[in-house]
Amino acid sequence: MEKIRLRDIADALGLSVATVSNVLNGKDSKVSPATRIRVLEAVEGSGYLPERAEVLLGRNPSRMVGLVVNDHPEYSGHPLEDPYNARFISFLQRAAVGHGLELLVKTARTWEEAAQFASMWNMTGLVVSGFCDADYVSLRQEMKIPLAACDAFSREAGFSSVTVQDRKGGRLAGEHLKSLGHSRVTCITTNMICDDFERIQGIRDAGLQTDLFMISGDRTVMREQFRQHDFSHVTAVFCVSDRQAMELLCILHERGIRVPEDLSVIGFDGIEAGIWAVPPLTTIAQDLEAKAETAIASLFEDPASHLIDVELTVRRSTGYAKTIL
The 10s digit of each residue's pLDDT in 143-182 is 888 999 998 766 666 789 999 999 999 999 999 999 999 9
The pLDDT assigned to 54 comes to: 47
The residue among 199, 201, 202, 196 whose CA lies nearest residue 215 is 196
Is residue 18 located within the same domain as residue 155?
yes
Is residue 115 located within the same domain as residue 211?
no
pLDDT band at 75 (very low <50, low <70, confident <90, very high): low
Is residue 11 located within the same domain as residue 126?
yes
pLDDT at position 135 over 90: no
Is residue 49 located within the same domain as residue 156?
yes
Helix (H) or strand (E) holding 295: helix 288-298
Is residue 121 located within the same domain as residue 222?
no
pLDDT band at 258 (very low <50, low <70, confident <90, very high): very high
Where residue 249 sits, what CATH number does that domain have? 3.40.50.2300
295 occurs within a structural domain = no
Is residue 138 located within the same domain as residue 178?
no
296 occurs within a structural domain = no
191 occurs within a structural domain = yes
Query: pLDDT (tens digit, 9 = 90+) per residue, 110-132?
Result: 888 898 888 888 788 999 998 88
Of 80-94, 151-165, 182-196, 250-264, which one has max mean pLDDT?
A: 250-264
Domain count, the chain: 2
63 occurs within a structural domain = yes
297 occurs within a structural domain = no
Q: What is the mean pLDDT of the chain?
A: 88
Residue 191: domain span? 166-286+309-313
Instruction: Give the range among 13-27, 110-124, 198-212, 249-263 with minimum mean pLDDT.
Output: 13-27
The residue among 171, 262, 247 whose CA lies nearest residue 213 is 247
Is residue 134 located within the same domain as residue 45?
yes
319 occurs within a structural domain = no
219 occurs within a structural domain = yes
Is residue 155 located within the same domain as residue 184?
no
Long-range pairs, 70-73, Cβ under 8 A, ≥24: 70/107, 70/108, 70/109, 70/129, 70/130, 70/131, 71/107, 71/108, 71/109, 72/109, 72/130, 72/217, 73/217, 73/218
pLDDT at position 290 over 50: yes
The pLDDT assigned to 269 comes to: 96
Is residue 114 located within the same domain as residue 54?
yes
The angle, 0 to 180 degrees and rounded to 10, between the axes of the packed helices 111-120 and 33-46 is: 70
Is residue 35 located within the same domain as residue 170?
no
pLDDT at position 227 over 90: yes
Q: Where is the domain boundary, 164, 183, 201?
A: 164
Query: How far is the CA of 129 from the CAs of 73, 101, 142, in angstroms?
Result: 15, 19, 17
Is residue 18 located within the same domain as residue 159?
yes
Is residue 151 located within the same domain as residue 203?
no
Instruction: Give the range among 95-99, 164-168, 262-266 with minimum mean pLDDT.
Output: 95-99
30 occurs within a structural domain = yes
CA 185 centroid distance within chain: 25
The pairing of strands 236-239 and 184-189 is parallel
pTM for this model (two decimals): 0.79
Q: Where is the domain boundary, 140, 164, 188?
A: 164
55 Cβ contact partners less than 8 Å away, ≥ 6 residues apart = none
